[in-house]
Chain A
Amino acid sequence: MHELSITQSIVSTVVERMRDAPIKRVKVEIGKLSGIVPDAVHFCFEMATAGTTLEGAKLEIVEPSGKGRCRDCGTEFETSDPLPLCSACDSADIELLGGQELRIREVEVA
């Protein structure tokens, strides 16, 4: 449900940074553990860009995978589980090192 806010933030940030340059492509990073559903962002993008300099732009979403580090045994591992268990010792005390990204990487000007 919050994907529309997120999509609107992407659009307003790009407009703020790029002023009135017409935008052809936007590349964003949405981590697999961010809680944001990329399909829903795609779905909202057309609506959120209507009447802006991003209208008609292509949205490119990169999805960095989740990474955790066990606070008990120190093992680092990849995961797609928002509540991961350590792959080595099964501990639930995990520090998330990646996968929570919500970032605008770059834009391409038309």
Chain B
Amino acid sequence: MCATCGCSDPAGVRVIDPAAEAHGHGHGHGHSHDDGHSHDHAGHDHGHEHGHSHLPAADPKIVQLEQDILAKNDGLAQRNRDWLAGQGILALNLMSSPGSGKTTLLERTVRDLAGELPISVLEGDQETLLDADRIGSTGARVVQINTGAGCHLDAEMVENGLRTLDPAEKSVVFVENVGNLVCPALFDIGESGRVVIMSVTEGADKPLKYPHMFRTADLMLVNKVDLLPYVDFDVARCIDYARRANPNVEVLEISATKGDGMDAWYSWLRERLAAVAQLDEVR
């Protein structure tokens, strides 16, 4: 548990732009945000007024706060969401356990859609630039967020990541969350949609074991279906379980390495991006 893993120590979070690191002259830093992506920190005022606790008259010792614990994160997430919507950007929060094939899926998606959809990636991992390097080698713009001991991305990390990433208008931003089926479910990062990736080398009962993750998903990708002849995985049962957690979840069966089902995934992306862009025009 946390005391052991020290999860979410904010001091340990690092946002790394591999391009800037490699060239050593600060590409990607300090753009002016005349695009409206302002990052002021109103509401984070830690002023120190002394002796005014504004206690209610009834019992001067007890103060009703009535505030959601996640209110701060949710507020920052809404700010991300508003900014992304204003730019016509489709931001997808990709979540799964480690090893389900998120990065391979992104590598193939970026390569296949190069020249059609502008794509950039925020990579969340506890440590290393390994995934950012893999994505970067496809030619896509990528920024790595190392959470240190943290087990999930939160809205503030994504805000900082987006500022460095500086994604184009009407583009797709994939946010690859830390590989973990528990913690990321609770933290809104301002995404336009949530995609959960399952692979057939995992247990088909994962949706029952991790209901919070599946409950909030818009799409479940069942990955590595090329391995189905070799593993004991009941796809229909897995989908059934996922629909118990979330009756409206869409499901696509894919193989990111062999290419099965990828066209359906790309159609889903095009539809979602078109919907976001349309909303942007209505504004």
Interface residues of A, Cβ cutoff 8 Å to B: 1-6, 8-10, 12-14, 16-21, 24, 28, 35-36, 40, 43-44, 47, 71, 82-83, 92-93, 102-109
Question: In the bound complex, what is the Cα–Cα distance between A57 and B5 (angstroms)?
Answer: 24
A residues less than 8 Å from B243 (CB atoms): 92
Q: Say whether B48 contacts A20, CB under 8 Å.
A: yes
List residues of B (1-43) whose CB comes within 8 Å of A's CBs: 1-3, 5-8, 10
Q: Mark B131-173, 1 if CB is under 8 A from A, else 0.
A: 0000000000000000000111010000000000000000000
- Asked if B63 is an interface residue, CB under 8 A from chain A, the answer is yes
List residues of B (40-62) whose CB comes within 8 Å of A's CBs: 46-50, 52-53, 55, 60-62
For the residues of A in contact with B, the DSSP-based class is mixed
Query: A109 and B186 in contact (CB under 8 A), knowing A1-B2, A3-B1, A9-B70?
Result: no
Minimum CB distance partner of A44 in chain B: B2
Q: Say whether A109 contacts B65, CB under 8 Å.
A: no
B residues less than 8 Å from A19 (CB atoms): 47-50, 52-53
Minimum CB distance partner of B68 in chain A: A103
Q: Say whether B62 contacts A108, CB under 8 Å.
A: yes
Pairs across A and B, CB under 8 Å, 17 listed:
A1-B5, A2-B8, A5-B150, A5-B154, A5-B187, A17-B65, A19-B48, A20-B48, A20-B50, A44-B3, A83-B208, A83-B245, A92-B243, A103-B68, A106-B62, A107-B65, A108-B62
Q: Say whether B65 contacts A12, CB under 8 Å.
A: no
A residues less than 8 Å from B103 (CB atoms): none
Question: In the bound complex, what is the Cα–Cα distance between A16 and B63 (angstroms)?
Answer: 13
A residues less than 8 Å from B270 (CB atoms): none
Q: Say whether B212 contacts A35, CB under 8 Å.
A: yes
Q: Say whether B63 contacts A107, CB under 8 Å.
A: yes
Q: Say whether B7 contacts A5, CB under 8 Å.
A: yes
Minimum CB distance partner of B8 in chain A: A5
* Smallest beta-carbon distance A28→chain B, Å: 7
- Asked if B211 is an interface residue, CB under 8 A from chain A, the answer is yes
Q: Say whether B66 contacts A104, CB under 8 Å.
A: yes
Minimum CB distance partner of A5 in chain B: B8
Give the 10 A-B CB pairs with smallest separation, nearest first. A4-B2, A2-B183, A5-B8, A102-B69, A21-B53, A35-B212, A82-B211, A92-B244, A1-B151, A104-B65
B residues less than 8 Å from A2 (CB atoms): 2, 7-8, 151-152, 182-183, 186-187
Question: In the bound complex, what is the Cα–Cα distance between A108 and B62 (angstroms)?
Answer: 4
B residues less than 8 Å from A3 (CB atoms): 1-2
Query: Can you add 14 more A-B contacts, CB < 8 Å, to A44-B3, A104-B66?
Result: A1-B1, A4-B3, A5-B183, A9-B70, A13-B65, A19-B48, A40-B2, A43-B1, A82-B212, A83-B245, A103-B66, A103-B68, A105-B64, A108-B61
Question: In the bound complex, what is the Cα–Cα distance between A110 and B63 (angstroms)?
Answer: 11
B residues less than 8 Å from A18 (CB atoms): 53, 63
Q: Say whether A109 contacts B1, CB under 8 Å.
A: no
- Asked if B67 is an interface residue, CB under 8 A from chain A, the answer is yes
- Asked if B180 is an interface residue, CB under 8 A from chain A, the answer is yes
- Asked if B236 is an interface residue, CB under 8 A from chain A, the answer is no
